[in-house]
Structure 1
Amino acid sequence: MDGELVYNSSLKIFSALLLKLSIPSAKTDSNFTAIMRVLLTGGSGFIAAHTLDVLLKHGHSVVTTVRTQEKANKIKEAYPDTPKDKLDFALVEDIAQPGAFDKAVISEPPFEAVLHTASPFHFNVTDVQKQLLDPAIIGTTGILKSIKASAPSVKRVVITSSFAAIVDGPKGLRPGYTYSEADWNPITHEEALKDPSSGYRGSKTFAEKAAWEFVEKEKPNFTITTMNPPLVLGPIVHYLNSLDALNTSNQRIRDVTLGKFKEEIPETGVFLWVDVRDLALAHVKAAEQEDAANKRFFVVADYFSNKGIVEAVRKNFPEYKDQLPGPDVPGGTRPEEIYKFDNSQSKSILGLQFRSFDEAITDTVKSLKAVGA
């Protein structure tokens, strides 16, 4: 299905659904087992790699999708003592293709939960519709269709969305306003096509809206839960072997260590962050806990700034002192007046205790050094 058609169809009825974040039509299972068979999509991605680690530590049996056998081999090498019945792989080369997940959702023993993290997040695109909107929208609706058709045992689906689906960018810093799970980005399809940055925000917004609409219209045997993190920082997985393959969020930490902030610290952009390990735990807990069903979670730790990254590196890694900007170098600070955030639901329902910014930056730099930073 064409991504624009999905979006337009979704928009027609979605205004009536914005307040229906707990959707009663989907069924829940009060006897949901503690140890699950889980399908994790996008297994080699930054968030998914940490989520896989949490799933295995919690004792779950995981099949993760990858685009190539080479990626599967790298993940398997990172878990040499994990048997096939606890960690296996399914090849899904292009999530934007119709029926991409039809085979992946079929398993013996059958899946009980699906964690869908696979979605593009990069700005090196020439066609926003084909490279950002379609993979996100069609990938999300496609896996939900496949689950409904071929995996009736699945009771929980957790989807990685974004703060991009919450924030109203054109309204700027909005001093005094508090963002929460009740907010939606009002971006239009036309606005999303303007540039890759807008395309990314649109892709996350339209894909999440399409997911909620699917549950409302199709009334499947599973519930959905969405994760809406802001900038995701934290250590890279140890089997990532290239600094050029970093997730977009961590590139700014890499650039600090490489001396790219020495003359001027870039503006921060998004001023909210979360550690990838806390976000990964949130995904798993959302699948494990019945009271997380049919809810959005604004998973955010606190405010930060690019200047704060520089100061954390300066404090903990004196070997980088020659790469760091001096105290008078301009840029990178956080404004005094900025929107507030409400992450209380992530704490009260998922029980999250967020890591500190200093810990996140320190552990990230250590992981970068391990691959040559």
Structure 2
Amino acid sequence: MSVFVTGATGFLGKHVVKECLDKNYTVIAAARDQEKGDALVRQFNNPNLSAVSIGDLEKLDAFDETFKNHGNHIKYVIHCASPAKWDIYSYEKDLLIPARNGVRGILESIKKYASDSVENVVMTSSFMAIPDFSKMGDNSITFNEDSWNPTTWETCQTDPLNAYAGSKTFAEQEAWKFYEENKDVVKFKFSTVLPSYIFGPQVFDTDVHEHLNASNETINQVLHATKMEDIQPLSTQFCSVKDVARVHVLALEQNNLSGKRLFVTSGAFDVQDILNHLNADFPQLKGNIPVGTPSKGIEINPPGAVIENKRTRELLGFPLKSLKQCVDDVTKQVLRHEGRL
């Protein structure tokens, strides 16, 4: 029996595929087109991996062909695919509809063609689906696994970041609604994984380029900065891509994780915290990157609303990686690529 992984060619998706293969699962990877799927198979060079093309996520029947042909052999589904882009002409067309239709489509396809064979479905949501961002500065507020972003279809369409937050919120709500309405029709268990800002190395060194994926580009930008003005301000929560991939696969295997929103965050960070670790851990960068104001880091004492995932940590039972580990892993890979390590 196989694990079907959507979004498999992305930064997180490749780590999920690797985690599955490392645990000797047979993996069917979904890609937007066959060329990308074939490239993924070549990269891993593992006989337990194959790929299928699904086309556009916004098409509600995008997954029908896969489950018609392979449904009897698919035991687990990990749905990582969701649009994440910032060069947007239409918030609805580019983000909201593809995210919502993607999850609705895959769940409907399982219901139609694999309701007896699929035993567990895990969906990638996001920290963005948790907080009310208008209250992030209020230290009397706590956001956790029970919290939901209160945005609406209309109010989120103000800028790309809010539209992205809306897309993750509506997609996850769509999934839970489907699961509750179809418990008697399908046999699978369901859970969601909500990662914060994801840092970590690429699975393959060949995927390191001048510019990295959106989250890791934050670290990449800092380690190539010559003055503070080169650094885009950012303060949010972070987690390790390796931890997030591990949680996805554990959610397939462990009954105590079923029916849960698993909020994966190691804590808060500011770009100053990244600078602090780079200056402390990489002598070749000292004097070439800014120092900033080390005391202004928030890693130890984050301001504003309390953000906690105690329940998730207790369920998982393993320590999540630190900011130092994440920053060092990314930086070592980039410096190797540039011949500086």
What is the DSSP-based 3-state SS (H/G/I as helix, E as strand, rest coil) of the residue aligned with 1:142? helix
C-alpha contact (below 8 Å) 2:77/2:118 kept by paired residues? yes
Verify: 1:141 aligned to 2:104, yes or no. Answer: yes
C-alpha contact (below 8 Å) 1:166/1:179 kept by paired residues? yes
Unaligned runs of 5+ in 1: 1-35
Distance in 2 between residues matched to 1:250 and 1:67, nearest whole Å? 23
Q: Which consecutive aligned stretches of 4+ in structure 1 deviate over 4 angstroms post-superposition?
A: 328-336
- 1:114 is matched by which residue type in structure 2? V
Q: Quick one: percent identity of the two aligned structures?
A: 33
Partner of 1:338: 304
Verify: 1:352 aligned to 2:318, yes or no. Answer: yes
Partner of 2:273: 308
- 1:131 is matched by which residue type in structure 2? D
C-alpha contact (below 8 Å) 1:278/1:352 kept by paired residues? no
C-alpha contact (below 8 Å) 2:72/2:114 kept by paired residues? no
What is the DSSP-based 3-state SS (H/G/I as helix, E as strand, rest coil) of the residue aligned with 2:195? coil
- 2:57 is matched by which residue type in structure 1? I
Distance 1:367 1:93, change over 3 A: farther
C-alpha contact (below 8 Å) 1:243/1:371 kept by paired residues? no
Distance in 2 between residues matched to 1:232 and 1:197, nearest whole Å? 16
- 1:286 is matched by which residue type in structure 2? A
Verify: 1:222 aligned to 2:197, yes or no. Answer: no
Distance in 2 between residues matched to 1:269 and 1:353, nearest whole Å? 22
Verify: 1:168 aligned to 2:132, yes or no. Answer: yes
Compute the displacement of 1:337 (Å).
2.8
Partner of 1:184: 148
Which deviates further from its counterpart, 62-71 or 258-267? 258-267
What is the DSSP-based 3-state SS (H/G/I as helix, E as strand, rest coil) of the residue aligned with 1:235? coil
Compute the displacement of 1:177 (Å).
2.4
Pick one of 48, 71, 95 that aligns with 2:36. Answer: 71
Distance in 1 between residues matched to 2:293 and 2:71, nearest whole Å? 61
Distance 1:256 1:72, change over 3 A: same
Partner of 2:207: 240
What is the DSSP-based 3-state SS (H/G/I as helix, E as strand, rest coil) of the residue aligned with 2:74? coil
Compute the displacement of 1:263 (Å).
3.1
Verify: 1:275 aligned to 2:237, yes or no. Answer: no
Distance 1:68 1:368, change over 3 A: farther
Distance in 2 between residues matched to 1:370 and 1:68, nearest whole Å? 31
What is the DSSP-based 3-state SS (H/G/I as helix, E as strand, rest coil) of the residue aligned with 2:179? helix
C-alpha contact (below 8 Å) 2:8/2:31 kept by paired residues? yes
Verify: 1:320 aligned to 2:282, yes or no. Answer: no
Distance 1:40 1:280, change over 3 A: same
What is the DSSP-based 3-state SS (H/G/I as helix, E as strand, rest coil) of the residue aligned with 2:166? helix
- 1:146 is matched by which residue type in structure 2? S
Distance in 2 between residues matched to 1:200 and 1:269, nearest whole Å? 17
Compute the displacement of 1:73 (Å).
3.1
Greater strand fraction, Structure 1 or Structure 2: 2
C-alpha contact (below 8 Å) 1:179/1:339 kept by paired residues? yes
Verify: 1:91 aligned to 2:77, yes or no. Answer: no
Partner of 1:367: 333
Distance 1:352 1:136, change over 3 A: farther
C-alpha contact (below 8 Å) 1:163/1:230 kept by paired residues? yes
Distance 1:365 1:336, change over 3 A: closer
Compute the displacement of 1:44 (Å).
0.8
1:302-338 per-residue CA deviation (whole Å, 9 max, x = no partner) reads 2211101111111222222344113459987577532
- 1:291 is matched by which residue type in structure 2? N
Distance in 1 between residues matched to 2:38 and 2:227, nearest whole Å? 36
Partner of 1:46: 11
Verify: 1:101 aligned to 2:63, yes or no. Answer: yes
- 2:73 is matched by which residue type in structure 1? P
- 2:148 is matched by which residue type in structure 1? W
1:108-136 per-residue CA deviation (whole Å, 9 max, x = no partner) reads 76111100000112212121101110111
Compute the displacement of 1:260 (Å).
6.1
1:269-294 per-residue CA deviation (whole Å, 9 max, x = no partner) reads 32x11101000000000011122111
Distance in 2 between residues matched to 1:116 and 1:170, nearest whole Å? 29
Verify: 1:201 aligned to 2:165, yes or no. Answer: yes
- 1:340 is matched by which residue type in structure 2? V
Give the TM-score normalised by structure 1: 0.84
- 1:139 is matched by which residue type in structure 2? G
Kindly report the root-mean-square deviation, in angstroms, between the aligned alpha carbons of the 2 structures: 2.1
Distance in 1 between residues matched to 2:303 and 2:15, nearest whole Å? 34
Partner of 2:175: 211
What is the DSSP-based 3-state SS (H/G/I as helix, E as strand, rest coil) of the residue aligned with 1:122? coil
Compute the displacement of 1:214 (Å).
0.7
Distance in 2 between residues matched to 1:205 and 1:274, nearest whole Å? 19
Compute the displacement of 1:297 (Å).
0.7
What is the DSSP-based 3-state SS (H/G/I as helix, E as strand, rest coil) of the residue aligned with 2:62? coil
Distance 1:341 1:191, change over 3 A: same
Choose between structure 1 and 2 for higher RCO, CA contacts under 8 A separated by at least 6 residues. 1
The number of residues matched between the two structures is: 333
Distance 1:261 1:213, change over 3 A: farther
Distance in 1 between residues matched to 2:71 and 2:60, nearest whole Å? 23
Distance 1:258 1:79, change over 3 A: same
C-alpha contact (below 8 Å) 1:223/1:293 kept by paired residues? yes
Partner of 1:4: none
Distance in 1 between residues matched to 2:145 and 2:214, nearest whole Å? 24
